[in-house]
Chains A and B, each alone.
Chain A
Amino acid sequence: MAVKHAGSIAGYGSGLLVILLLAIAIEADPAMQTLRRGQRPDILLRAFGQMREVAAAMFILKMDEYFHRGTRHPDGEAHTISDHSHAHHHGEECAGELPSATASLPRKDFISRLNQSIHDQPVRHLGPGEQQELLPWVAAAAAMDPHMVAAYLNGGFWLSEEMRQPAQALRFLEEGRRRNPAAWRIYEQMGQIYFRHLADYARARAFLERALALQPPETLPIEQAQVLTFLAAACEHAGYPAEALRYYEQLRLVTPDDPAPVQKIEMLRNLLIEAGVSPR
């Protein structure tokens, strides 16, 4: 009798676990595609063999949900801090309320209408002094999957940019760097923090040079340009005009339509000539 009960409990417990794992894997699928940059193992492997990665993706989704005060993007995508369209994503400069994720539900029946009245809420971001609410999810994501680079990047961004704690951000990013030594974005963010918040241009240069070296050939031009811009400026501020000139020239190749590098190149060339140093 005891064996029968134990078997029965094990049976329905296993059934419940299977259902839960599959539900979580399906829910985290869009985030997994974005955060894992196209790597998409089979959903069953994701559900049972890579539960930590799925859980980390869920925590990142949760962080994004918290940032949007419990609402979701209308198309279900998650933020990334390299989202260069962030400033226009919700049109913060636009007046009036913005539609929520449930606003696009077809109003065919009373159930859909009831769902809309319950779950509909205009999309808003967390205000100043509230960003610490995101930190537990970031920390949990990094703990679950130490190779979830997005967790470290998000944590570093919120700590340095919004909460003005660059030292804390660097400690967190350093942990991410140790666990992901090939993650150029972590080096880039560390370099930016040293540049913008600590004015430590020598360290900024070191990290940004490493980021540049680690960038794969298929890196988007805008991402290359971002690293080169900060790197060139770091060299300039650190008193290395020749190196700065070299990076601005690289930047000009990546962004030929941007006049800013051209002006910098001319300025630095003149500077080097005045100093009696050959620009080449």
Chain B
Amino acid sequence: MRIIALLGAQTVRELMRKKDFYVFFGMLCAVMFVLTRVSVFGQSDMSRFLKEAGLGLIYIFSLALAIPLTARLLITELRDKTIYPLLAKPVSRLQVVLGKYCGALLAAEGSFSVFFLFFYLMTDHATDTAIAVYAQVFWFGALMLALVCALSLFFSVFCTFSATVTLTAAVYVLMSWFGMDLVEPLWSVPPAGPALYYLLPHFEFYDIRVRLIHAWPPLSASTVAAVSLYTLVYCGLLLAAAYWGFARKWL
């Protein structure tokens, strides 16, 4: 566990050294500040628009940080040959995979938390939206990033950096936007269709921004627990598959 934690801390330090996080945070601050002063047709009290824009930017920036950061972790180690002294320490391949994942997860969740905290402070949260909804949107965003990092790490074992980023982003976009529409087409082509339907990561679960924007009631505890369990199991399977691929990789 100590080795995994050390590897994870190294990844977080890597993010802090890069300018990506600061650039995105600066952009978020600037855009949110401008939007709070926007007046359309003489109207300025448009809180939903502000929340929509803010949350959209948070999701985009968090994904833009998480996907490439995770994608380059193993690939960089292999390319720069730093994997050899790492494995010679000795650090097992499983510890490498888990350590890199934990580091990516910490970095992604940390960035997302900072963005979300800023968003919470900037928006009018004292009115009709329950604090539970804010908490659930945050939690689901964190779960989404956990799954995205696991998926990116999995692809990075088998693909180049460019392909990893493209594939992860493609799967995320396609499932987020069309995941619910795939039921009928896939179930009409048994047995491959239903198998693919279950195999694909259902990112459409995690986008509950509409609940915060339009003041919907919070989700039930059972729904939150079910999505959390789904994420845990799916991430576990992806990490297991990533370890399996990495263990068989000729270094």
Give residues in A with beta carbon < 8 Å to B.
8-9, 11-12, 15-16, 19-20, 23, 26-27, 66, 69-70, 102, 105-106, 108-112, 114-115, 117-119, 121, 132-133, 135-137, 139, 155, 159, 163, 165, 168, 172
Q: Which of B166-197 contact A (CB under 8 A)?
A: 166, 169-170, 173-174, 177-180, 183-184, 187, 194, 197
Question: Per DSSP, are chain B's interface residues mostly helix, strand or loop, or mixed?
Answer: helix
Task: Name 23 A/B residue pairs within 8 A (Cβ), A-sorted.
Answer: A9-B162, A12-B161, A12-B163, A12-B166, A15-B166, A19-B166, A106-B184, A108-B183, A109-B194, A109-B197, A109-B198, A114-B205, A114-B227, A114-B230, A118-B227, A119-B204, A132-B41, A133-B46, A133-B49, A135-B40, A136-B40, A139-B41, A159-B41
Give residues in B with beta carbon < 8 Å to A.
38, 40-43, 45-49, 160-163, 165-166, 169-170, 173-174, 177-180, 183-184, 187, 194, 197-198, 202, 204-205, 208, 210-211, 213-214, 216, 219-220, 223, 226-227, 230
Decide: B166 and A132 in contact? CB cutoff 8 A: no
Of A9, A23, A115, A121, the residue contacting B180 (CB under 8 A) is A115
Which chain B residues border A26 with CB–CB below 8 Å? 178
Which chain B residues border A168 with CB–CB below 8 Å? 41-42
Question: A139–B40 Cα gap in the complex (Å)?
Answer: 7
Decide: B45 and A115 in contact? CB cutoff 8 A: no
Which chain A residues border B42 with CB–CB below 8 Å? 165, 168
Of A109, A119, A136, the residue contacting B46 (CB under 8 A) is A136
Which chain A residues border B220 with CB–CB below 8 Å? 117
Question: A186–B139 Cα gap in the complex (Å)?
Answer: 46
Report the minimum CB–CB distance from B118 to chain A (whole Å).
21
Of A9, A23, A112, A139, the residue contacting B177 (CB under 8 A) is A23
Decide: A135 and B187 in contact? CB cutoff 8 A: no
Question: A108–B213 Cα gap in the complex (Å)?
Answer: 30
Question: A132–B178 Cα gap in the complex (Å)?
Answer: 30
Which chain A residues border B162 with CB–CB below 8 Å? 8-9, 11-12, 15
Question: A132–B223 Cα gap in the complex (Å)?
Answer: 33
Which chain B residues border A132 with CB–CB below 8 Å? 40-41, 43, 45-46
